[in-house]
Amino acid sequence: MKIQEYSHTDGLRRWELLYEGVYLVLLNSEAPKPYSSQLLAFNGFGPLIWYLSPMTEQGHDYIVNVWVKNNELFAGSFTGYSHKIDIKTGKVIETKFTK
């Protein structure tokens, strides 16, 4: 299964947030790899515009949370990294180890 648009996540979504017109989605553990470990960003109910994978390549790491602080988007991973993300491009602006 290749997830290319929002509708492909039906029944697999664990969490979602609409921010600045972008749907940010975390999928549940039953979703196919690598999608179950990534933060997915969709243009409305349409196509996938970018995704964020965990910084480590360990099989047990995944993106666990997303938050907005001072109008900036952040995502955190299970292994303790936090990423400041450009909402339009998905580019990681800054990464910090927080554990």
pTM as predicted: 0.94
Q: β-strands 81-85, 63-69: how paired?
A: unpaired
Distance CA 29, CA 86 (A): 26
The predicted pLDDT at position 98 comes to: 87
Nearest to 13 by CA among 77, 78, 55, 30: 30
* Integer Cα distance of 33 and 22 in angstroms: 22
The string of pLDDT tens digits covering residues 39-74 is 999 999 999 999 999 988 767 899 999 999 999 999
